[in-house]
Structure 1
Amino acid sequence: MKNTTAQLRILSIDIGGSSIKGTILDNKGALKMDYKKVVTPNPANPDNVIKSIKTLVKDFPEYDRISVGFPGYVRNGVVKTAPNLGNEYWKDVDFRQLLVTALGKDAQVVNDADMQGLGVVEGKGLEMVITLGTGFGTALLMDGHLLPHLEVAHHPISKGRDYDEYIGDKALDKEGVKKWNTRIKKVFKVLKTVFNYDYLYIGGGNSDKLNFKLDKNMKIVTNADGIKGGARLWQEDKHPVTHTAMATPTK
């Protein structure tokens, strides 16, 4: 059955270090069903992740397109790095084509923070999205359009440690909430200086642990808001950062 853009139903999936979440969206990002999730498999290699996604969506309503937020560097649907799933499993994996083959619908795959960014930004000026969770995710958007993804998480921030090591889950568990917040304040100063953003959105499971007042151009957002970016991703399909030719399902 062919659908116009206005009628599209989009399977939107967020892959995280601890769980894989999914829902069905309409073309404007409204939820057509409650979120469902499964535990991220261990090891989280491509075959196991695909199997988990198929388990997750087996009872979902019909959908026309697929949008996936992936925790790593992705270019044209091909994964380059996946530090929180296992780089050794994912280097140069065409995850988009694996999804198309497994689920039989065209797919787009972008970094998870990029997809969250599409779901939360206002579309005015230079907006930055960060996620505080297993690691540290970032996305940059100009006037609502994604800019090329930068793996800021792996740039050194302190004593040879990158952002993932400095403010990720392991650092939070080791150092405690008070010291973690001190580190977050330092990171926010760096981001403000380096990127000079108009607005900063803060997501991820650890964002609720922030214990200091945010600047007026900073805002905490939810993962639920972020997964709605799966609809915006298909509105972006002619933009140079996200556009790729339609994939063909293989039998």
Structure 2
Amino acid sequence: MSQSTADEKILSFDIGGSRIKAILLDSEGNALIEYQRTDTPAPSTPQNVMRAVLNLSQRFPGYTRVSVGFPGYVKRGIVHTAPNLGTGYWKGINLRDELATLLGKPVRVVNDADLQGLGIAKGQGLEMVVTLGTGFGTALLMDGILLPHLELAHHPFTKDREYDEYIGNRGFIEVGAEKWNRRLQKVLNTLNTVFNYDHLYISGGNAKKINFALSSNISLATNLDGIRGGAKLWSHDHYNV
């Protein structure tokens, strides 16, 4: 399928380490029923998370397709890593097929930062989206086309810390706001040097804790902006990745 039809109603989920968010969208990404959320269950087993998704879905009648952003490496619907939910629980789970059976609708699943990227990027050159939440997510797009499966969060940033540990929420709690902001400035300088992006967007719950001026080619975005990527996930077969 290459293009969503006008009467599609796409239920878009963003599964996070602390919250599961959802919104009902038309094929253009406009909200039909507003953004709602529920706590991510603990322990975050597949059964518990999928039950929470099912319960949240019942607030959105009439959806025809489902898009899911998942916090880990997902390829063709199968979860390979889930650092903030528990990879031991999730590795090898075909989340796409299990949710399609549970919800009775076609489902597409991508990394949560990739979903955010589809919703936020403007389609102008090389764009990067980073999410500052429980962990540190990254997405790259070229002229609006997603370049999937970038897991920069798990690349070492210092001798003994990956990006996820250095700049994720655990890092914020460990060192406090001032030092975390200095860390973030180092990370942004590194990303600019390595990727030479045209524009960088910062999303996620901790984005509001930034206390320094951003460069002219860096913008803040919201989780609501990003979850609308669930509509674009169905706009091309390319995104069934």
TM-score computed with the length of structure 1 as normaliser: 0.93
1:236: how far off? Answer: 2.6
Does the Cα contact within 8 Å between 1:71 and 1:84 map onto a contact in 2? Answer: yes
Does the Cα contact within 8 Å between 1:21 and 1:38 map onto a contact in 2? Answer: yes
CA distance in 1, matches of 2:165, 2:121: 27
1:149: how far off? Answer: 1.7
1:61: how far off? Answer: 1.7
1:148: how far off? Answer: 2.6
CA distance in 2, matches of 1:199, 1:236: 23
1:52 matched residue in structure 2: 52
1:248 matched residue in structure 2: none
Alignment of 1:68-217 (within 5 A): 68-217=68-217
CA distance in 1, matches of 2:236, 2:137: 20
Spell out structure 1 runs of 4+ moving beyond 4 A. none
2:224 matched residue in structure 1: 224
TM-score computed with the length of structure 2 as normaliser: 0.97
SS at match of 2:32: coil
1:243 aligns with 2:240: yes
Does the Cα contact within 8 Å between 2:23 and 2:33 map onto a contact in 1? Answer: yes
1:234 aligns with 2:234: yes
1:99: how far off? Answer: 0.5
1:160: how far off? Answer: 1.4
Does the Cα contact within 8 Å between 1:145 and 1:236 map onto a contact in 2? Answer: no
Letter in 1 for 2:181: N
Segments of 5+ residues of structure 2 without an aligned counterpart are none
CA distance in 2, matches of 1:156, 1:43: 27
1:24: how far off? Answer: 0.6
Q: Among the aligned pairs, what percent are the same residue?
A: 58
CA distance in 2, matches of 1:187, 1:201: 14
1:32: how far off? Answer: 0.5
Letter in 2 for 1:91: K
Does the Cα contact within 8 Å between 1:140 and 1:149 map onto a contact in 2? Answer: no
CA distance in 2, matches of 1:214, 1:56: 36
1:170: how far off? Answer: 1.2
1:23: how far off? Answer: 1.3
1:59: how far off? Answer: 3.1
CA distance in 1, matches of 2:117, 2:166: 23
Segments of 5+ residues of structure 1 without an aligned counterpart are 245-251
RMSD of aligned alpha carbons: 1.0
SS at match of 2:150: coil
